[in-house]
């Protein structure tokens, strides 16, 4: 089963590996350990001192932190083909967030020294990592702006758009399997659960989303983007 997760085509779905040759990927595979986490298990703990880097091979994980009063502050959900934990490799500081398994999760674990070696010795990995860090910095700037200048509803629309774009494979409908609960969405955008419920009801009435079992289907992503731009 581990081989199924670590075949070359599967590993190339990760941005840091997408430009690597088969030979280079083969040399990396032996350094990746496949590990599994149950729903609700902690993958990375806030303030922990480890430096492992995790490749999300299957499932979803939530990046969060808790205030001194116990309030959950959610940063983002990690879809499959994301990686997390690399900052501790470079600055040696304690973990700044928790990473929690939202579903059953399969991870590929690289030790900190191994990941550091890949970054130092493989230029394609270095360039991809720098691109990803730049994209995350831009995303953080956008989120700071949204929190300061936009309503909770508009922030939710933006977060829903990001989730849909991450899952989009063509121009058709986008299915978000096992999406965040209303409370989880609220924690991510810094609002109340009731505001998320109202916003989803409005999107449903407009024909932009619909429920499909436990999944949320974005039926008109272009219209959702238009609503965000109109705000």
Where are the domains positioned within the chain? 2-144, 150-230
- As a whole number of angstroms, the distance between CA 209 and CA 185 comes to 15
Classify 111 in phi/psi space as left (phi over 0), alpha (psi -120 to 50) or beta: beta
- As a whole number of angstroms, the distance between CA 173 and CA 171 comes to 7
Location of structure tokens 């999300």? 56
CA 229 to chain centre: 23
For 143-148, what is the mean pLDDT?
A: 87
Location of structure tokens 């130092």? 120
pTM of the model: 0.82
Q: Is 150-230 CATH 1.10.10.10? A: yes
Instruction: Give the per-residue pLDDT at 70.
Output: 85
pLDDT above 80 for 199: yes
Q: Do 157 and 227 touch, CB atoms closer than 8 A?
A: yes
pLDDT above 90 for 148: no
- As a whole number of angstroms, the distance between CA 140 and CA 146 comes to 10
Collapsing DSSP to helix, strand or coil, 56 comes out as strand
Q: Which of 84-98, 100-114, 149-163, 169-183 has the lowest mean pLDDT?
A: 169-183
Q: State how far the alpha carbon of 193 is from the alpha carbons of 36, 188, 190, in Å.
A: 31, 11, 10
For 203-229, what is the mean pLDDT?
A: 93
Q: What is the DSSP string of 149-190?
A: HS-HHHHHHHHHHHHHHHH--SSS-EEESSPPPHHHHHHHHT
- As a whole number of angstroms, the distance between CA 167 and CA 90 comes to 30
Instruction: Give the per-residue pLDDT at 171.
Output: 65
Torsions phi, psi for 62 (to 5 deg)? -110, 135
CATH number of the structural domain 2-144: 2.60.120.10
- 15-71 residue pLDDT tens: 999 999 999 999 999 999 999 999 999 999 999 999 999 999 999 999 999 888 888
Collapsing DSSP to helix, strand or coil, 92 comes out as coil
- As a whole number of angstroms, the distance between CA 56 and CA 113 comes to 19
Q: Do 42 and 98 touch, CB atoms closer than 8 A?
A: yes
pLDDT above 60 for 2: no
- As a whole number of angstroms, the distance between CA 199 and CA 211 comes to 14
Instruction: Give the per-residue pLDDT at 122.
Output: 97
Collapsing DSSP to helix, strand or coil, 143 comes out as helix
């Amino acid at each position: 089963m581990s081989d199924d997760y670590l075949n070359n085509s599967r590993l190339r779905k990760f941005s840091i590996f997408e430009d690597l040759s088969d030979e280079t990927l083969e040399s990396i595979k032996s350094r990746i350990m496949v590990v599994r986490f149950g729903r609700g298990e902690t993958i990375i703990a806030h303030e922990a001192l480890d430096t492992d880097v995790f490749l999300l091979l299957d499932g979803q994980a939530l990046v969060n932190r808790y205030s001194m009063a116990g309030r959950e502050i959610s940063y983002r959900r990690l879809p499959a083909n994301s990686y997390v934990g690399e900052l501790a490799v470079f600055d040696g500081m304690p973990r700044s967030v928790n990473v929690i398994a939202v579903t059953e999760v399969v991870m590929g674990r690289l030790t900190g020294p191994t990941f550091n070696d890949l970054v130092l010795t493989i230029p394609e990995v270095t360039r991809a990592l720098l691109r990803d860090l730049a994209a995350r910095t831009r995303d953080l700037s956008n989120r700071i702006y949204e929190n300061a200048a936009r309503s909770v509803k508009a922030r939710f629309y933006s977060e829903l758009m990001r989730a849909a774009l991450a899952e989009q494979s063509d121009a058709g409908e986008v299915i978000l399997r096992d999406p965040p609960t209303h409370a989880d969405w609220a924690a991510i955008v810094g609002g109340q659960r009731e505001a998320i419920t109202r916003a989803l009801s409005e999107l449903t009435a407009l024909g932009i989303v619909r429920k499909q079992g436990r999944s949320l289907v974005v039926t008109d992503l272009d219209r959702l983007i238009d609503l965000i731009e109109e705000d």
